[in-house]
Amino acid sequence: MPMNIYVNGRFMTQRLSGVQRFAREITRKMRQISAHTPAGMPRILVPSGELTQPEADLPATHCGRLHGQLWEQVELPRHVDDGILVNLGNTAPLLGRPQIVVVHDAGIFSYPTAYSTKFRLWNMALLHGLRRTATHFVTVSEFSRRELQARLHLPDKRVSVITEGADHILATPPDTSILERHHIVPGRFVLAVGNLAPHKNLHGLSKLARSLAARGIDLVVTGGLNTTVFSESDTASSLPVPAKYIGRVNDTELRALYQAALCFVFPSFYEGFGLPPIEAMACECPVAASAIPSLQEVCGLAATYFDPASQDEIDRAVLHVIENPVLRAHLRSAGRSHAASFTWEHAARQLLDVIGRHMPHGDARAAVLH
């Protein structure tokens, strides 16, 4: 008998950010692709209670009475005896069930000051615990694979790499009312997107913000700060000024911002993948990004780069883009072509291949690895 595929749907009870975006999009595509396979569509299991964004093509099965981490660790494993559990959001139950966990980066080890102490310590302990089980790890870049292998002492066979998709940003028409509401003039602003967390390095845009203002150009920043995950670390007091902070936006608003911006700037100190630059490329927005390994791997030759530790270099790189029409046209064209290869269908097929290779057969069960 074919084994069932179960998806840990805890992400459906959480606010939408990068990890939750990945989980929703890849689950949706996995269900579409596997609808007519012997194993059938993956079944999404969620804790009792309200879902943040119920969606018709992501039907969820409520199970158990607990919530959050307790549900994931105690109740979820009881419902996957006849299959494999796929965990898409960095965490997974420690009980020895056949399972896969997608860990997007090793930031809690490599950039610990970006995270709250409670979040960091729990997740470090959890990942080390999962290392001692038969859990197979999946991540989203070769950079993250190397980091996780080094931090968790994992051999090559324990970690697989898949990609992410950006085509969701083109799935709905742009909502240009976001520009009117915030008095943003098309073609007269530079866009920055990301949670207001320390490793996103928004402070590094301080000199750029002043340079843009002197030219009558706005710096527009979207995003928020989840203090249960990220450390505040005086983030609010170190944000660049002058700038327009417009908070969280939906996909239709974000698409309108990408399409109307002179340039997209992404000054992160640390990323496991870096989806916003690929979204920007898909919308034909020129990209200037940090010269860090993950972003150089993901963005390739379709972006211009700068040292995120140098405000002068960030300033020079972005001004060079906005003042050079030929370069902007080149980055738009190169970005559009580059982003076309990042689709959620491709990512889902990669993950389904990993699942197929690690699906338990017969009496095989997860065992503790020493």
Looking at residue 196, what is its pLDDT?
78
Looking at residue 52, what is its pLDDT?
77
Tokens of 238: 């170190």
Helix H or strand E segment including 219: strand 218-222
Q: How far apart are CA 314 and CA 173, in angstroms?
A: 31
Looking at residue 35, what is its pLDDT?
83
Q: What average pLDDT does this structure show over 47-55?
A: 81
Looking at residue 262, what is its pLDDT?
98
C-beta atoms surrounding 333 within 10 Å: 13
Q: What average pLDDT does this structure show over 75-104?
A: 92
Q: How far apart are CA 316 and CA 305, in angstroms?
A: 10
Q: Peptide bond before 242: cis, by omega within 30 degrees of 0?
A: yes
CATH of domain 167-339: 3.40.50.2000
The CATH homologous superfamily of the domain defined by 4-165+344-358: Glycogen Phosphorylase B; (3.40.50.2000)
Q: Is the pLDDT of residue 249 over 80?
A: yes
Q: Which residues of 268-278 are buried (b: 16+ CB within 10 A; e: fewer)?
A: bbbbbbbbbbb
Q: What average pLDDT does this structure show over 208-220?
A: 98
Q: What average pLDDT does this structure show over 266-287?
A: 97
In terms of DSSP bridges, do strands 136-139 and 99-102 run parallel, antiparallel, or are they unpaired?
A: parallel
Report residue 81's pLDDT band, with 50, 70 and 90 as the boundaries: confident
The pTM assigned to this predicted structure is 0.91
Q: Is the pLDDT of residue 102 over 50?
A: yes
Looking at residue 56, what is its pLDDT?
83
pLDDT tens per residue, range 140-185: 999 999 999 999 999 999 999 999 999 999 999 999 999 999 999 9
| Residue 166 and residue 247 in contact, taking contact as beta carbons nearer than 8 Å | no
Q: Which residues of 317-328 are buried (b: 16+ CB within 10 A; e: fewer)?
A: bbbebbeeeeeb
Q: How far apart are CA 197 and CA 287, in angstroms?
A: 20
| Residue 295 and residue 214 in contact, taking contact as beta carbons nearer than 8 Å | no
More confident residue, 362 or 187: 187
Q: What average pLDDT does this structure show over 239-265?
A: 95
Q: Is the pLDDT of residue 137 over 80?
A: yes
In terms of DSSP bridges, do strands 287-290 and 304-306 run parallel, antiparallel, or are they unpaired?
A: parallel
More confident residue, 201 or 231: 201
> Which neighbouring-strand residues pair with 310?
none
Which of 194-198, 199-203, 234-238, 283-287 shows the lowest per-residue confidence on average (mean pLDDT)? 234-238
Measured over the CA atoms of residue 105, residue 9, residue 31 and residue 159, the dihedral's sign is: positive
Q: How far apart are CA 62 and CA 319, in angstroms?
A: 51
The domain spans of the chain are: 4-165+344-358, 167-339
75 CB-near residues (< 8 Å, 6+ apart)? 47, 63, 64, 65, 66
Report residue 230's pLDDT band, with 50, 70 and 90 as the boundaries: very low
Judge whether 4-165+344-358 and 167-339 match in fold.
yes
Q: What is the share, in percent, of the chain residues with pLDDT greater than 70?
A: 92
Q: Is the pLDDT of residue 116 over 70?
A: yes
Q: Is the pLDDT of residue 36 over 80?
A: no
Biggest alpha carbon–alpha carbon distance for the chain? 69
